[in-house]
Structure 1
């Protein structure tokens, strides 16, 4: 029997992997199996226990530490993750694992796969995010991986530049576009009612730590909160930060601020369907999440992208970049609300695919596994 495992540790990652999981499982039979391994913040009450939002069959739950106050916490998390997944891969002997992106725990998962000679199929390599440690983690995972599913042509070229054979690098677009076409099916009234709001003007907001920046998150969050208060006519639907170093501090500040700001509504997690449905009808999306760069333009909705966390990603004209000060954020929000910028957003074409990435990734993954042609002794591809 051939076995592939898909691994998810966070809410955002699961949302992007779900189209691939669905397509892979359509092909399950007596000779082919797809395991879903759930780990990380999915299992934590602090981060919303998002395992409860996963509708697919779960085959393994792997508890790993998720403390993130300092560098030592992150390293301890990575060490335990490496050990636990090495044990799992040694026992299960998967023909391949599928992982996405650039999180520190996924680097440990990839190393565990390398140590057990388990092929890695990697989604979203080749992107650049200069303000986060995700940048070097992502490229490191690329070098461990055998098969590469990138989201755009620029990223495909970068993966090849890193020495990966072009015959193993595929640009099928982003699965986030798949979700936009199939998952964001709530109307505005339903979406708002699901978060306890009636018809109103609102914005979506997510702010994650800028892990390559030495500045304090305290100042950045305070500046953002002042900008939120400057627009009392707009309701801000805010989702909490991830478990990167500094994420706990951000969430503590957001928890403390919510009761004091009338137009701020805080949620640990919204889930993919609700989040994307709310995005579709929002006035703008604000923060520093990749969703503002990849998904939001496909809805022709403006993005206010704060700071350097997403610097280097391929961006549409609908995205307004600004610094972290309240003044700059307010200027950017006002620009996003202008008729002129709204017209620009209407004409934006997504650079991240046609909405069939999940189907194509699943088909190619099965084809490669069943071919029996995987050779982990990769040659460095010289340009």
Structure 2
């Protein structure tokens, strides 16, 4: 079956968004757990319990990030090139932080020394909270627009030097988005921790879920107000037919007040995303307090999808807007690969994604159960 080019472009916007949400729900959960590690684990054995909750799955979950990066490279090569150029220092910071995760998981138990293990506990904390913060900061900068332009060869050029590229990214709105990201993932990881552990950890983590959930909601609402009254969005004035050959420079774009909110009046159903982003954490907090972490994990996952989905829907069809040269902005319609590439990749996803999901569910099912203090104390050789 041959799918028309315009439809394929839209399908790949959905698929890339789904991959990013899948990464946030799975590996973001692991990052949230590790970010809470020094605070909910009071003793070495308790911290070993926390680590063993995510230890068997963290590396498989991180594949979602690699897959999302590969999908962006193949489906949106212009976005991949422009993003990896402009966010180079930020991505290096994320990469270096991620180095601590495999080292922390693998080396923590090598030496039976409290100071050694404490160092790796904080390494796991840093290797989780820094990427969570930077990913949120990246979304915050995309909503404000990125200072780049495309030349006639479609090469991206940025203002400023490489050494000073990181500091402008850390602006107030972007940092707010980073705080939302950290709070959202810590709440999500906290619910998973409550589901997979017993007292005292499962009781202690309730406070963290409540705090992080409230921070996520308040930050999300504040971010929405900030976008409504303080940040200009982008709007396409004219462009070639969406089903035509991709050419990012063949359109006219303007920045105007309220443009990021236009979709919610045009497509009222899209209001579900911010509604879930606000209501989801509040319901998660309630379910956590009622000792229903299973349902709480579902609502927490929906919260993650709602918050990320709100950002994606607000920006649609923009993927990477340019605040210095709006006409160079990259959109769903003009930053994509060829029709043939998108078609081949689509059928690869249709065939292999269900297999990956089935295998992932099987792994979790096989290793399901509570992780207890008795377990890590009795099976020291198999615990982190």
TM-score interval w.r.t. the shorter chain? Answer: under 0.3
TM-score by length of 2: 0.22
TM-score by length of 1: 0.22
Kindly indicate which of the two structures has a greater share of residues assigned to helix.
2
